[in-house]
């Protein structure tokens, strides 16, 4: 070790220069400047590597280059030292280490060559950036057009909703007059009317009742989007039983039973709308019954990740598979009014209520085997901006 540091019996390199000051100064200054440059270059490389590492998948190669250049700089420093101190062993080991790192650096470059050649030129990158900026500009324009269209759509939908609400509301009064006067005519002058006249008045009364049901459902449909009810957490069991109580006379007349699962969850929702939802579904499920089979409706619910999964299941006539997607359209009826009463709006109301809560509703069924209505609602619904979806039956 002392030989490496002190030089032993070797002569310093300055002897070879005949101790000429000018020659020694030339070598010292030159080696010092080269060493300074070699030490500055890796500092710059390491700085760049740290700041653009996300762009380089081969920053490790930069580290090898930095080590190689630092060792080269150290070699020039030792060239200065050996002018006065003959530490040739130390200089030899330094050069051996430099050789090893140099070979490793050279070998590491070989697999990088294809990747470096495949890198884009600045001109290509600038052209790509220009295309990207143009595409962003086009997308921003399309988004602005979409926002304008959405605003116009919402405005049109709200106007349509307002029109449906006002029109339906205003139709109630003349219908009540028609119903009232036709019933008054029958009561006061039945003995003066022949059989055909009484039958015609019965047709009028039946038609008025159907129209009143239709208007009531249209009003209910329009009110969903206008609802100002708040979302509160309350027992779903209470909501379902309110719906059953409201349907009690109808269910009794149909001989229908409703089984509610134990321990229904507490659900955050507009429970006024949720009561209407279950009322419509239970009414629908108990209505379409098979001959000779007492209607049985089951209501259940269970957690489904961040959602509640609700189900209303019946043992009725079922729905053909090709009709399952259309039964939620407004005015969609699978049967004539003489077979099963209804307006064709009830399930449309259900879908609108579910979507008002940010959920989805669908039906699963096989003809003759009953129907399952599935509802998937978020546990933490966000009340949407007032609006309405009016999707008519395409067959109309």
> Of the spans 117-126, 218-227, 237-246, 318-327, which averages the highest pLDDT?
237-246
> Of the spans 25-34, 109-118, 221-230, 365-374, which averages the highest pLDDT?
25-34
> Looking at the domain assignment, is residue 287 inside a domain?
yes
Question: Does residue 327 share a domain with residue 304?
Answer: yes
DSSP of 68-109: HHHHHHHHHHHHHHTTTS--HHHHHHHHHHHHHHHHHHHHHH
3-class DSSP assignment, residue 49: helix
> Looking at the domain assignment, is residue 392 inside a domain?
yes
The CA–CA distances, whole Å, from 5 to 24, 27, 81, 83 equal 21, 21, 11, 14
Q: Answer with the residue of higher pLDDT: 101 or 217.
A: 101
Predicted confidence (pLDDT) per residue in 320-363, tens digit: 777 778 788 766 655 555 555 656 677 888 888 898 888 999 98
Contacts of 320 (CB under 8 A, 6+ apart): 334, 367
- Centroid of chain to Cα 116: 39
Question: In CATH, what number is assigned to the domain containing residue 325?
Answer: 3.30.565.10
> Looking at the domain assignment, is residue 127 inside a domain?
no
- For residues 358-381, one letter each, b for 16 or more C-beta atoms within 10 angstroms of the residue's C-beta and e for the rest, the string is ebebebebeeeebbbbebbbeeeb
Q: Answer with the residue of higher pLDDT: 56 or 377.
A: 377
Percent of the chain with pLDDT over 70: 74
Question: Does residue 165 share a domain with residue 110?
Answer: no
pLDDT (average), residues 362-388: 78
The pLDDT value recorded for residue 229 is: 63
Question: Does residue 241 share a domain with residue 212?
Answer: no
Question: Does residue 7 share a domain with residue 20?
Answer: yes
Question: Does residue 167 share a domain with residue 250?
Answer: no
pLDDT (average), residues 70-74: 91
The pLDDT value recorded for residue 200 is: 72
Q: Is the pLDDT confidence value at 393 over 50? A: no
> Looking at the domain assignment, is residue 142 inside a domain?
no
Question: Does residue 385 share a domain with residue 238?
Answer: yes
User: Which of 75, 94, 118 represents a domain boundary (last residue)?
Assistant: 118
> Looking at the domain assignment, is residue 139 inside a domain?
no
Q: Answer with the residue of higher pLDDT: 150 or 393.
A: 150
User: Which of 226, 243, 274 represents a domain boundary (last residue)?
Assistant: 226
DSSP structural state of residue 7: -
Question: Does residue 264 share a domain with residue 192?
Answer: no
Residue with tokens 């509160």: 232
The pLDDT value recorded for residue 150 is: 82
pLDDT (average), residues 74-86: 90
What is the four-CA torsion angle of 93, 98, 99, 105, rounded to 10 degrees?
A: 150
Predicted confidence (pLDDT) per residue in 194-212, tens digit: 767 777 777 776 666 666 6
Question: Does residue 16 share a domain with residue 70?
Answer: yes
**CB of 308 within 8 A of CB of 374?**
no
The pLDDT value recorded for residue 118 is: 73
> Looking at the domain assignment, is residue 143 inside a domain?
no
Question: Does residue 342 share a domain with residue 266?
Answer: yes
Question: Does residue 84 share a domain with residue 192?
Answer: no
User: Which of 226, 241, 267 represents a domain boundary (last residue)?
Assistant: 226
Could you give the CA distance from residue 284 to residue 384 in angstroms, rounded to a whole number? 27
The number of beta carbons lying within 10 Å of the beta carbon of residue 179 is: 17
Q: What share of the chain is helix, strand, coil (3-state, %, to 5)?
A: 60, 10, 25
> Looking at the domain assignment, is residue 136 inside a domain?
no
> Looking at the domain assignment, is residue 100 inside a domain?
yes
Question: Is 239 buried (19+), middle (13-18) or exposed (0-12) by CB count in 10 A?
Answer: buried
Average pLDDT taken over every residue of the chain? 79
Domain range for 105 is 2-118
Q: How many domains are there within the chain? A: 3
Q: 3-class secondary structure for 351-379?
A: HHHHHHCCCEEEEEECCCCCEEEEEEEEC
Could you give the CA distance from residue 29 to residue 35 in angstroms, rounded to a whole number? 10
The number of beta carbons lying within 10 Å of the beta carbon of residue 5 is: 11
Question: Does residue 362 share a domain with residue 266?
Answer: yes
The pLDDT value recorded for residue 392 is: 41
Question: In CATH, what number is assigned to the domain containing residue 203?
Answer: 1.10.287
Question: Does residue 293 share a domain with residue 206?
Answer: no
The pLDDT value recorded for residue 18 is: 73
The pLDDT value recorded for residue 385 is: 45
- For residues 281-310, one letter each, b for 16 or more C-beta atoms within 10 angstroms of the residue's C-beta and e for the rest, the string is bbbbbbbbbeeeeebbbbbebeeeeebbeb
Predicted confidence (pLDDT) per residue in 130-185, tens digit: 899 999 989 998 898 888 888 887 777 676 666 666 666 666 667 676 777 777 77
């Amino acid at each position: 070790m002392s030989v490496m540091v002190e030089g032993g019996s070797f002569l310093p390199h300055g002897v070879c220069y005949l101790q000429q000051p000018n020659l020694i100064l030339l070598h010292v200054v030159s080696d010092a400047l080269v060493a300074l440059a070699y030490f500055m270059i890796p500092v710059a490389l390491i700085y760049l590597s740290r700041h653009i590492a996300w762009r380089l998948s081969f920053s490790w190669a930069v580290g090898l280059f930095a080590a190689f250049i630092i060792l080269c700089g150290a070699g020039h420093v030792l060239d200065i030292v050996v002018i006065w101190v003959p530490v040739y062993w130390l200089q030899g080991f330094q050069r051996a280490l430099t050789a090893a790192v140099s070979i490793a650096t050279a070998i590491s470059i070989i697999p990088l060559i294809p990747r470096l050649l495949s890198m884009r030129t600045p001109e290509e990158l600038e052209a790509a950036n220009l295309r990207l900026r143009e595409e962003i500009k086009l997308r921003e324009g399309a988004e602005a057009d979409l926002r304008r269209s959405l605003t116009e759509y919402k405005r049109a939908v709200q106007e349509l909703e307002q029109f449906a609400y006002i029109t339906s509301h205003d139709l109630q009064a003349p219908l009540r007059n028609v119903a009232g006067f036709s019933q008054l005519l029958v009561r006061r002058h039945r003995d003066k009317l022949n059989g055909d006249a009484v039958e015609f008045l019965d047709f009028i009364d039946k038609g008025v009742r159907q129209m009143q049901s239709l208007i009531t459902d249209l009003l209910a449909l329009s009110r969903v989007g206008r609802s100002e009810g708040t979302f509160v957490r309350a027992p779903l069991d209470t909501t379902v039983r309110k719906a059953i109580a409201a349907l009690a006379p109808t269910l009794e007349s149909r001989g229908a039973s409703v089984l509610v699962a134990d321990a229904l969850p507490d659900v955050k929702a507009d429970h006024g709308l949720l009561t209407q939802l279950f009322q419509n579904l239970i009414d629908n499920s108990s209505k379409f019954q098979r001959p000779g089979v007492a209607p049985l409706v089951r209501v259940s619910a269970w957690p489904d990740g961040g959602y509640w999964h609700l189900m209303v299941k019946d043992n009725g006539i079922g729905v053909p598979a090709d009709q399952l997607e259309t039964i939620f359209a407004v005015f969609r009826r699978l049967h004539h009014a003489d077979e099963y009463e209804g307006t064709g709006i009830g399930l449309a109301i259900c879908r609108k209520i579910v979507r008002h809560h940010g959920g989805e509703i669908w039906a699963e069924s096989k003809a003759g085997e009953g129907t399952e209505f599935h509802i998937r609602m978020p546990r933490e619904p966000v009340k949407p901006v007032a609006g309405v979806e009016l999707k008519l039956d395409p067959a109309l």
